[in-house]
Every structure is written in C-alpha cells, then in structure tokens.
C-alpha cells in the first residue's frame, strides 16, 4: 500500500480515493474442483475493490498477481486494484491456486474463469456492467490472464450452478510483462509450476498462448521492457503478432528500460513520476469504454 500511496502523490490526483474494499470470499462455497484439501492454499478467493460510486464507470477488472505460479506478488494485486479504482474501475484481486501447493493446469484456469463468471453473475451486487469485465495479469499472472483470453467458454445454459451459466470470456485483457509461451523463450519456473517437470508436447502447445489466439480473443493491452531478463520481451511481441494476424485490436508498448516485475514503480532510478505504462493504460481503457473520456 505504501507504493500505491507514493504513486498517487506522484500523479497529484485531486479526487480522494474512496474505494470500498470488501472481505475476500471463496470462488466455490462448497470447495473448488480438484481441491487437494480445505486449507487456505486450497481455497481460491476474490477480494473486491469497488470504485467510488461518485466516479464509477461500471467497468470491472479481475486482477491476477504474478509470482511464477509459485507465489502471489502483493504489489501486482492490491496496488493495481487501487489504481484502477482511481480511474472509476472496480477491481477484483484473485487468489488462485499455485504449483508450489501441488496444483497444476487446469486448476489455475478454472480459478480465473470462475472469477470472471462470479463477477458477471453478481453485476447487480457490485454495480458493474456485464459487458465491461476485463482481466489483468503480470508475469505468470499475465500468462494466466492470456490463457483465459484464449481458452474461455460461453458458459453452460443448463448448468445447475447459476454461476456456471455465465460466460468466462473477458471483454478486455491487460498483460503486464507477461509470460505467454511454454516454449524455450518463456519462463522455466512458471512452466514447471504450471505443467510439472515433464509436460507433454501437446500440453506445451496448448498453453503456449501465442498459438491459441483466435478472432474471438478480446482486445488486449500489452506492455513489456526491452531489458527484461526474466521474461523475454519476445513473449509480448509474439502474442501481439498473433493478435494482428487474427484481426484482434491491441495496444503494444515496449519500453527500453526497466527490470522485470516493476509494477507501478517509477523505473529506471532517477526518473520522476510513475512509469508511463500507467498513463498509456488509462488512454487505452478510455478507448475500450472502461474509463470515461
């Protein structure tokens, strides 16, 4: 939270932040499919950060923190949520199941898909628009977000659970220095945590999301840094190229300087203010109708 407070000061916001942060709740009240137990690590949750009603646009974003599918980076969850709140966008921080706790695909995708369905099923409770629900992720969280962008479904009309009747397709995607591929130029730690030590060639292909883009993939904002030594910039470049081939609108921002995982921090040292990706994202969100012009 200290990072976000400093970020607000740097941008000199005049509107005082009045987000309503609600308690985290489980995605499946009776337990997640394939759960290995009932402990904290086995229960995926959502934490709502609802925008101030005075400035709320009706848009919402599910936020997937990074962490190599082995942890969840705090600065890529609540900080992003509060930043989105400042733009009038409600946010929902997802605690998804992790490889470090014994989970493998498809548990993580199940959690992300369920998160979008839950928000869509409760639009009246959260005061959001069912057609303006996006997903955002950083690093491995970016891989999870890109997986839902390319592996969504439209729900089951006859499902007993009303949440499962909802579409899991996000209306927009925001990918921050994302892991995209499970091939050599991806991130080996994320791949092992997601797929195990010896995944099949078919599974690697399926979760290399640059190969799974279709005309139905939602519009996407991507940003990366050329200097990223952990997740090569090629990940974002390949995904953007696939979007272009499929005729999907996108914004792609490659910044020369900046390490991996910088979140909302100002980088490199010596530069004042927030990293420019934040302002670029706000511009793009206006184009998508998520933020008021």
Q: Contact at 8 Å (CB) between 158 and 102?
A: no
Cross-strand partners of 173: 135, 220
Give pLDDT, residue 261. 78
Give pLDDT, residue 48. 98
Ramachandran quadrant class, 102 (left: phi over 0; alpha: psi -120 to 50; beta: rest): left
Q: What is the mean pLDDT of each run of 10 residues along the chain (293 residues)?
A: 48 57 97 97 98 97 97 95 97 98 98 98 98 98 98 97 98 98 94 97 98 98 95 97 98 91 70 81 98 93
Q: Contact at 8 Å (CB) between 202 and 145?
A: no
Give pLDDT, residue 176. 97
Domain 2-31+40-288: CATH superfamily, name plus number:
Alpha/Beta hydrolase fold, catalytic domain (3.40.50.1820)
Rounded Cα gap, residues 44 and 287, in angstroms: 32
Give pLDDT, residue 12. 37
Q: Tokens in use for 222? A: 């991507």
Give pLDDT, residue 267. 53
Give pLDDT, residue 265. 76
Query: Rg of the chain over CA atoms, in angstroms?
Result: 18
List the chain domain ranges. Answer: 2-31+40-288
């Amino acid at each position: 939270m200290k990072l976000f407070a400093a970020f607000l000061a740097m941008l000199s916001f005049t509107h005082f932040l009045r987000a309503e942060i609600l308690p985290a709740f489980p995605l499946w009240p009776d337990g997640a499919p394939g759960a290995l137990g009932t402990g904290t690590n086995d229960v995926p949750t959502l934490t709502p950060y609802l925008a101030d009603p005075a400035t709320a646009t009706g848009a919402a974003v599910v936020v997937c923190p990074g962490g190599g599918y082995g942890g969840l980076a705090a600065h890529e969850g609540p900080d992003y949520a509060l930043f989105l709140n400042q733009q009038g966008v409600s946010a929902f921080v997802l605690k998804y199941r992790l490889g470090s706790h014994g989970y493998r695909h498809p548990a993580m995708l199940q959690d992300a898909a369920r998160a979008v369905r839950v928000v869509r099923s409760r639009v009246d409770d959260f005061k959001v628009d069912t057609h303006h629900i996006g997903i955002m992720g950083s690093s491995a969280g970016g891989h999870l977000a890109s997986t839902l962008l390319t592996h969504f479904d439209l729900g089951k009309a006859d499902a007993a659970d009303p949440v499962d009747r909802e579409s899991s397709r996000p209306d927009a995607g925001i990918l921050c220095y994302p892991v995209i591929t499970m091939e050599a130029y991806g991130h080996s730690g994320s791949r092992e945590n997601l797929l195990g030590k010896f995944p099949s060639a078919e599974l690697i292909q399926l979760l290399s999301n640059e190969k799974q883009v279709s005309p139905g993939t939602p519009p996407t904002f991507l940003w990366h840094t050329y200097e990223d030594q952990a997740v090569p910039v090629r990940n974002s470049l390949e995904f953007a190229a696939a979007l272009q081939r499929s005729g999907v609108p996108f914004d792609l921002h490659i910044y020369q300087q900046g390490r991996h995982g910088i979140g909302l921090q100002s980088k490199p040292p010596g530069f004042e203010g927030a990293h420019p990706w934040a302002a670029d994202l706000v511009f793009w969100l206006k184009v998508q109708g998520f933020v008021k012009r």
